[in-house]
Structure formats: C-alpha cells, structure tokens
Amino acid sequence: MGTPFTIRIFVPDGEPEGIRIIDRMNWTGTGIIFPRVKWEEVKLRTEMGKTGIYILVGYQDNDSDLHRIYIGQADGISNRIESHIKKKDFWDWAVCFVSNSGGLNRAHVTWLEYELIQRAKKINRCHLDNSNEPQEPSLSEAEKADTQGFLNEMLQILPLVGLRVFEPVKTINVNATIGKLNVETLKSKPPQWYKGEDTLIVPAQKEGFEESFLGEKCWYAIRISSGMLERIKYIAAYQTAPIKAITHYALVDYIEPYGESGKYKLIFKGEPIAIKPIPYADANKGTMQGIKYTHFEKLQKASKLSDFDKPLRDFDKLG
C-alpha cells in the first residue's frame, strides 16, 4: 500500500472539464490541466510564464487506444505551447507543472523532461511524439534529490487526471498452474480449473490475426467485464470472411490494461494451436460482431458456431 495523500483541485472557470489548477499541501509545485480549446484563456495565467514541464496528450488516430504524447519544457512554457498550437494537431489537452516558489530552473526541467521520456519509452503505454531525445543534464546530488521529489509528486497526480502512461502495467496472472503445462499437454487433454465460462472468442480479420494472434502471440484491444478477468484461461480466434470459422485457440498467460479506455491485452503462453475449423454455418446474423464468452469444453466439441448456444451438459464426463 502506498502513502495516503491529498490533492486540491481549483476550477477557475467553473467547468469540470475545463481549466483545473492542482496543488498539494507542503508542495512547491502547481499543476495546470486544460483542454486545447481553452488555450486562449490559459496562456494569460501567470503560471504559464514560468519555467516548467508540460505534456501534450491526444491520440495517434481515431482507431488508436493508446495515447500519443509530447513531453517538453521551457523557461516560459506559454511561448512553447503557443508554437505547438500552430504545429502539432494531435493533442486535445495538456498538463503542465511549474514551481510556485520559482524553485525550478532550466536544468531541473530538462532533467524532468529526460526522466519522463525515458520512463515513457520503458513502460511503452503510449505513442511518443518526441523525435529528439535530450541528454541527462548534470545536477548536483542535492539538486537531483529535490528534482526527483518534484517528479514523484507529478507521478502521483497524473493518474488522477487520466494519464497513466508513466505507470508500470499491473498484469493479471491467469493461473499459477499454467507454468507447469506445455503445448503437447494442451493438445492431448487441456486441464479444467473450474466449471464456468473460461474462454473468450474474438473476431479477427486476416491482417490482425496473422500479425497479432499468430505473430505476436497476443490479442488487443478488447473490453472484458471485470468479473471475467480472472476467469479467462483460453482465447479462440474466429477468422472473419472469407474464412468465417474458429480456427485457432491459445492458452492465456496473463492480461494487462491496454490504453486508458478500459480495454485489455491478452498475452499467450506458447504458440496458438490450430483446430478443426468451426464454421459460421447457420448461426444467427451478427453472432460474431463482438467477443463471445464460452466454456472450453464447447470449443472442443462444437462442430459449428451455433453449437455454442446449446447448454453444457454432463460437464464432468467431457474430456
């Protein structure tokens, strides 16, 4: 458990999604969060003329689930962000941090920029728009300790305003038993951990199936209800037209969050396993437009997609 803390949020324009000013007791910093459309108001604030660090936040494209971010710093952040208004179209909102005591200088914010870029690259939860990578500036031992403390405060605040790209991913290990299994065992007689839906069937187009399901041995980005997260043991791929059949399945090793919109990435244990195709056949229209939960036993015995709608009987006798 981390150390409890409190933040204060001031909303100067009275709009919850507008400009927000964040501070903390006994902290020399101030955070400013604002949507791009509020820039003309924000740039007039005194905080924006100070030395600081800023992060521009948006998306790579309309279909992206990962944030695209740009990390920057300046002696006066207002002028720098003004240039990004003209030259960078991707960002929708920004968060800035300055010192309300004047305690941050150019070397400090350059170090903060360096550390955030390194952290974003290592954690790999976003698309980083920075093309130039700054060198770590030379700080005294005392200065580095103080600046690290400022960074720690920032990293506690950022998830609370919807930016988790600097947080390590918290994975869900599906089952400790998985470590004792191998692909040959799975092919002959897959284990049964409990009597419930343990398999996720996902629709997959040709490119995504070949690149991610078979190539990367993972699947993303999908929404999974929280009650199912620790129950999913297998994932099966339904290849869309022209194949229109379930053709492979894989054992899930672990699950991790993907992006900021409640979606997940499933990482497989071992190679996906090819099965006798289970065709769409007489299934109702739209049956595989989204994900489908089922029992692994049904996956083993189904001869067509509509079989998954039948009740599971004599569970203990199946194998």
Q: What is the CATH number of the domain that holds 211?
A: 3.10.590
Tell me, what's the pLDDT at 176? Answer: 45
Tell me, what's the pLDDT at 62? Answer: 67
Mind listing the pLDDT tens digit for each residue in 110-122? 999 999 999 999 9
Q: Is the domain of 119 the same as that of 192?
A: no
**Averaged over 254-283, what is the pLDDT?**
91
User: What is the domain extent for residue 267?
Assistant: 172-317
Angstrom distances, CA of residue 159 to CA of 21, 166, 189, 216: 15, 9, 43, 28
| Mean pLDDT over each residue of the chain, to the nearest integer | 88
Could you tell me if residue 316 is left (phi over 0), alpha (psi between -120 and 50 degrees) or otherwise beta?
alpha
Q: Which of 124, 142, 161 is the last residue of a domain?
A: 161
User: Given pLDDT bands bounded at 50, 70 and 90, which one contains residue 188?
Assistant: low
Please report whether residue 288 resides in a domain: yes
Q: Is the domain of 115 the same as that of 154?
A: yes
Mind listing the pLDDT tens digit for each residue in 147-158? 999 999 999 999
Asked if the model's pLDDT at residue 283 lies above 80, the reply is: yes
Tell me, what's the pLDDT at 181? Answer: 44
The C-alpha angle 96, 101, 106, rounded to 5 degrees, equals 60
Q: Is the domain of 27 the same as that of 154?
A: yes
To the nearest whole percent, how much of the chain has pLDDT over 90?
67
270 or 61, which is more confident: 270
Count structural domains, the chain: 2
Q: Is the domain of 36 the same as that of 60?
A: yes
Q: Is the domain of 313 the same as that of 200?
A: yes
Asked if the model's pLDDT at residue 81 lies above 70, the reply is: yes
**Averaged over 2-19, what is the pLDDT?**
92
Asked if the model's pLDDT at residue 196 lies above 80, the reply is: no
176 or 209, which is more confident: 209
Q: Which of 161, 188, 220 is the last residue of a domain?
A: 161
Tell me, what's the pLDDT at 318? Answer: 39
Asked if the model's pLDDT at residue 178 lies above 50, the reply is: no
Tell me, what's the pLDDT at 163? Answer: 94
Asked if the model's pLDDT at residue 1 lies above 70, the reply is: no
Total count of residues recorded for the chain: 319
Give the H/E segment covering residue 300.
helix 296-301
176 or 53, which is more confident: 53
Tell me, what's the pLDDT at 286? Answer: 86
Q: Taking each helix axis from N to C terminus, what angle separates 141-157 and 106-123, rounded to the nearest 10 degrees?
A: 50
Q: Which long-range contacts (CB under 8 A, 24 or more apart) does 184-188 make?
A: 186/251, 186/270, 186/273, 187/273
Q: Is the domain of 92 the same as that of 191?
A: no
Q: Is the domain of 244 the same as that of 190?
A: yes
Asked if the model's pLDDT at residue 235 lies above 80, the reply is: yes
Please report whether residue 166 resides in a domain: no
Asked if the model's pLDDT at residue 237 lies above 60, the reply is: yes
Q: Which of 161, 194, 217 is the last residue of a domain?
A: 161
Tell me, what's the pLDDT at 189? Answer: 52
Structure tokens at 22: 């964040």
Tell me, what's the pLDDT at 175? Answer: 55
